[in-house]
A and B are shown apart, each in its own frame.
Chain A
Amino acid sequence: MKTIPALLAGLLLTVGLASTDSAAAAEQPAPIHFGAIGWESGALTTEILRLIVERGYGYPTDTLPGSTVSMEVALARNDLQVIAEEWAGRSPAWVKAEQAGQVFALGDTVKNAEEGWWVPAYVIEGDRDRGIEPSAPELRQVQDLKRYRQVFRDPESPGKGRFLNSPSGWTSETVNSQKLKAYGLNELYTNFRSGSGAAMDAEITSAIRRGQPVLFYYWNPTPLMGRYKLVRLQEPPFDANAWATLTDASNPNPKGSQSLPAKLSIGVSKAFRDGYPDLVRAFEQVDLPIQRLNQALANMSEKRTPPREAALAFLRDNREVWKAWLPADIAAKVEASL
């Protein structure tokens, strides 16, 4: 009987040795670790970059999952090398690491990315095909919301309207709470924090499917933007001083302003920046046109394509976009692999 455990142990040992052997053989350069971003635009961008790095430059890559903050911390420690969509400057963890020179934001990946307050178009214009009457026909800017609180009724406190804020803990949550104060909507609307991104998306999608009015914070680039007809409410033009009062949660008298135009970059660790100058040059050129990105995201979310396949499709359909980022020989390699 004793031979069986011994046999098993021997077998395990061989398997172990064999696998370390093959791993060592395959693993000449260590793979570049990308943060596995959970939201769609991040997931798609990650896969687009990975495909280019793998097929154009021939470096192996890998992804590691985590929440935004934990990925930023991991990047600072070089446990991750790349975060493909970094809203640089938004989170304290990032700002601290950037000041310490541990992480770098490369490029400006999506120009005209915006965030703000949105309503479905049918709230303003109605939708004859679905038999929806316009419920707030004169809603143009945030100040108009004062007249329409009954339209966005909050079932938890029926006298007020409901503004669907981002989850508590997001930087935008502070800004939106301050904006409610700045626009004089604090008493009229419930500042409803949605708890998690998934819950927020589910609530918005459900409302739109049912043709109900809904007022929510959202941002670009996102599948939601490509998928439904949404209208962004106008806010006062961007003003740096007013923006400072909006980002400071303890400021009692915030002033209204459009949000700081979002700058999306590729976050990389210091070791990566030093070790892969060729990739750094390419990453700095990355420029994803927002319309095409929203469209690709809408397709990906509607057909529920895995991000990797969606990225392949994006590369196939938008050759002129990514060829501009890369040296000709690398671009040719990527193209040949599609």
Chain B
Amino acid sequence: MSGGFPQALQFSIADSVNRVVDWLVLHYGDHLRNVSDQLLQVLVGLENLLRLMPWWLLLAMVGLLAWHASRSLLRSVMLVALLALIGMLGLWDKLLQTLALVLVSTGLCVLVGVPLGILLAARPLARRLLLPVLDVMQTLPAFVYLIPVLMLFGLGKVPAVFATLIYALPPLVRLTQLGLSQIDPSLLKAAHGLGASRWQRLRRIALPLALPSIMAGLNQSVMMALSMVVVASMIGARGLGEDVLAGIQTLNVGQGVEAGLAIVALAMVIDRISQAYGRGAR
């Protein structure tokens, strides 16, 4: 099976990787489960908070947010109608679970991604080292790292957040870095001349100027997070993805389409609102 490649040059790291994973599970499994329980509390808390909210309040909040972002009544009504449609399909509770998952992973994305983007823009060495890492994150098939992560952190929402983070982080980092490196350097020099400190230059000039680009990155991150929902459901994270998966596995195409459309609807709502904010920033 090994084709024409010389046998003597072949090697396999599979056994050592297996041993390392097994060793990690044995020695650190219990500690890591505790860490993951903490993150789980945040997720479940947010989920319960969303559940406590009456459905019309959530719809009204989305409507208000959409109006605040775009100042367009028609668009707000459309987006609210899209969300209501998911509820009408009987997927409201699953929608809330998916929403909680996407919100937490996107929140973590911003916490990690924006500082990382700033670092990449400021330090060429960091850029050279981290860009290949970003490539790996975007292309490594999710199940390759999901199963070990699952063995360490337990089945369910926490490994799903990790998987989403790994997959959805790179666009935010890249676009933050791009936005910052496209700023006219003379602006920063002028600010420097006027006595602005490093932090002030970043906070008052660079970040506001790069905001449209950062928002575009955030938007991409959210979209990729939503596209990970089905994969997340394959490791026991409940939500809309579960219905898609069950639909596929039982040849119930209708059920799969319903849940799939619900994911699309949720994506459109989040996309339009975040894009409107991005444009507003411009």
With a 10 A CB-CB cut-off, give which of A91, A93, A206 has the most chain B CB atoms.
A206
Residues A304 and B37 in contact in the complex (CB < 8 Å), given A192-B156, A199-B147, A206-B29? no
Residues A156 and B249 in contact in the complex (CB < 8 Å), given A195-B242, A199-B234, A206-B150? no
The residue on B at minimum CB distance from A303 is B15
Residues A167 and B249 in contact in the complex (CB < 8 Å), given A202-B151, A209-B22? yes
The one of B44, B246, B250, B251 in contact with A156, judged by C-beta atoms closer than 8 angstroms, is B44
Interface 1/0s, chain A 78-96, versus B by CB < 8 A? 0000000000000111000
Once the chains are docked, how many angstroms separate the CA of A311 from the CA of B52?
A: 55
Interface 1/0s, chain A 192-216, versus B by CB < 8 A? 1111101110110110011010000
| B246–A195 CB distance below 8 A | no
Once the chains are docked, how many angstroms separate the CA of A170 from the CA of B234?
A: 13
Interface 1/0s, chain B 15-36, versus A by CB < 8 A? 1001000100110011001001
The one of B22, B33, B156, B246 in contact with A168, judged by C-beta atoms closer than 8 angstroms, is B246
| A170–B249 CB distance below 8 A | yes
Once the chains are docked, how many angstroms separate the CA of A77 from the CA of B250?
A: 18
Once the chains are docked, how many angstroms separate the CA of A47 from the CA of B109?
A: 45
B interface: dominant SS: helix
B209-235 contacts to A, CB under 8 A, are: 233-235
| A196–B25 CB distance below 8 A | no
Q: Is B154 an interface residue (CB 8 A)?
A: yes
Once the chains are docked, how many angstroms separate the CA of A170 from the CA of B26?
A: 31
The residue on A at minimum CB distance from B26 is A209
The one of A68, A170, A192, A202 in contact with B147, judged by C-beta atoms closer than 8 angstroms, is A202
- B246 cross-chain contacts in A, Cβ below 8 A: 168-169
- A164 cross-chain contacts in B, Cβ below 8 A: 155
Once the chains are docked, how many angstroms separate the CA of A300 from the CA of B33?
A: 29
With a 10 A CB-CB cut-off, give which of B18, B29, B155, B235 has the most chain A CB atoms.
B155
| B156–A198 CB distance below 8 A | no
CB distance from B163 to the nearest CB of A (A): 11
Between A and B, how many residue pairs show CB distances below 8 Å?
96
Interface size on B, residues (CB 8 A): 37
The residue on A at minimum CB distance from B28 is A210
The one of A169, A192, A194, A210 in contact with B30, judged by C-beta atoms closer than 8 angstroms, is A210
| B250–A69 CB distance below 8 A | yes
Interface residues of chain A, those whose CB is within 8 Å of chain B, are 67-69, 73, 91-93, 155-157, 164, 167-170, 192-196, 198-200, 202-203, 205-206, 209-210, 212, 304
* 23 residue pairs A–B, Cβ–Cβ below 8 Å: A155-B36, A155-B154, A157-B44, A167-B249, A168-B242, A169-B245, A192-B156, A192-B236, A193-B242, A194-B155, A194-B236, A195-B237, A198-B147, A199-B146, A203-B154, A203-B155, A203-B236, A206-B25, A206-B152, A206-B154, A209-B22, A212-B30, A304-B18
- 11 new A-B pairs (CB below 8 Å) besides A155-B37, A167-B249, A169-B247? A67-B249, A69-B249, A73-B251, A91-B250, A92-B251, A157-B44, A167-B245, A170-B249, A193-B242, A196-B245, A199-B147
